[in-house]
A and B are shown apart, each in its own frame.
Chain A
């Protein structure tokens, strides 16, 4: 309780001492009146009553004043010698009685005051607590979590806005109801086990399936907390829960997608294995009969060429040519399939050096030809060196092949303007070119834009080029004009952290 301010405290003190004087005056007046009408021995109780009233209502200070006044005027009016303040020994007992009585009453009064103060304090505390609790209870309504309290018989005793929002029941509908019946709760474990755990540890957490007032099913993750009273008896359970229906649905979706993915990757793995076995089988089993065809035809030719007519000999030559062609086809196809399967081993190397090596490799094709080579400055390249060599060999031998009809072939290898991230390398020739409307077919397996007797080939070279470049994260494309030469480009990411000088 707040202390009164100084002026009012002063007024309060004056009032208290005034009460002392007034009650003394009233008691004295009544005593003198009684004496006047011949009543004996009432002055002491009357004066004591005045002291008592003062002590009770005004406190120790005014009580002391009342005692002093009472003793003085008792001595003056009622003890011998009268009308003097002279104190005799016979006055001592009265004196003692007055003082003891005043002390007693003052003590009672003090006790009363203390009790009163304590009570007031307790009341105020209670008021504050009630206010706080009310505020907290309203705070619980602010949360998105659903919170409710039920007693040990499952009767709901508290139900926040979150619970109302989640389950669709208003607090007045929910309170007093059996929580599991109202919400049609489906537990993940036997209810007895959950209760047992709750009683043992004071907590439980788990996923529950519930039905809302609207009849829809929700999945919630619920946390139980057990409240015990001061005798440790369980009295209530606080349950907070969050709606995880959507999350659950997504989880299930992800799970099923993952399952599907795993299934597909297993299937893919199986297909890859099969493909590998197939390639192996092609490599081994297809080659043997082919070798026999070629071998025995050759032997036949050796033994019988003199007795056979020209036509028969030509047939033999065609069989041999076909066998050779099929052999090349098998080799190229296997190389192509290997590129898809093999791991790329990337290093940083000089393209200039690699072009030089590629040129050595295709030297045979260029024999007896009049080719003017123009090799530009080439950058360093980060990639699988042997694969890149295959790319260059393919592109350069194509250029040599398709310039065959030119008396003066021109082949240029250089670096075009790439962008910030990619470098672009090209191989340009002045050969027969091709019609740009077939450009989409160019990089397909077994796709050929020229007749076999015009320009030989298996139709796998450019498919191989594209596959290698794709595996390096680049692109391969071409530009050409019929009878006006062709340019083949490929791009690849620039080596990182290295300055590239054009």
Chain B
């Protein structure tokens, strides 16, 4: 499909399997789900990004966008964000914080660390689906990713 050819790889960092399923469903509806890598905690996400642990063998290209939850087991979202933004190669990955938290301090902390967008997951499913769709479409399709990202 046309869109699939343009689609970038999405790294979804989310610990809640229900949220993962809802997100994938939303992306699926708009044919954006094929290239989604799911990391279930912060450590897992960092392993993927730094090509270590179980991702030792993966090709070293960056995802086109990363959807990051803040409340994560082991290494939390803000810490993941900090490590990405302080790494020469990874800092170019667009990071969208996708979180339940409406807390201002989380938002401020995220922007200070250089997040590209901050989205509060809407409770309403339609709004949620719309938000995911628009995010996926914008970052994985419309946006021209930085060099070194995967784009099929």
Interface positions of A (Cβ within 8 A of B)? 280, 283-285, 287-288, 290-292, 294-299, 320, 323-324, 326-327, 330-331, 334, 338
Contacts and interface: CB of A to CB of B under 8 A. Distances in A.
A297 B16 CA distance: 17
B18 A287 contact: no
Interface string B115-132: 000000111111010000
Contacts of B125: 291, 294-295, 297-299, 320
Interface stretch (B5-13, B55-63, B99-107, B134-142): B99-107
B25 interface: yes
Given A295-B128, A327-B123, A288 B100 contact: yes
24 contacts: A283-B101, A284-B71, A284-B99, A284-B103, A285-B100, A287-B123, A288-B16, A288-B19, A288-B100, A288-B121, A291-B22, A291-B122, A292-B18, A295-B22, A295-B125, A295-B128, A298-B125, A323-B123, A324-B123, A326-B123, A327-B124, A330-B123, A331-B102, A338-B104
Given A288-B16, A291-B19, A296-B18, A283 B123 contact: no
B55 to A, nearest CB: 27
B102 A292 contact: no
A283 B100 CA distance: 7
Contacts of B128: 291, 294-295
A304 to B, nearest CB: 15
Nearest to A294: B125
Contacts of B71: 284
Interface residues of B, number: 19
Nearest to A323: B123
A324 B124 contact: yes
A280 B101 contact: yes
A320 B128 CA distance: 14
A291 B122 CA distance: 7
Which residue among A294, A297, A327, A331 has the maximum number of chain B CB atoms within 10 Å of its CB?
A: A294
A415 to B, nearest CB: 32
B101 to A, nearest CB: 5
Interface in B7-40: 16, 18-19, 22, 25
B124 A334 contact: no
B103 A283 contact: yes
A14 to B, nearest CB: 116
A299 B25 contact: yes
A296 B21 CA distance: 10
Given A284-B71, A298-B126, A334-B102, A292 B19 contact: yes
Contacts of A294: 123-125, 128
B78 to A, nearest CB: 13
Contacts of A327: 123-124
A491 B83 CA distance: 50
A283 B71 CA distance: 12
Contacts of A287: 100, 121, 123
Which residue among B16, B100, B101, B123 has the maximum number of chain A CB atoms within 10 Å of its CB?
A: B123
Contacts of A324: 123-124
Which residue among A283, A297, A324 has the maximum number of chain B CB atoms within 10 Å of its CB?
A: A283
Nearest to A279: B103
Contacts of B18: 288, 292, 295-296
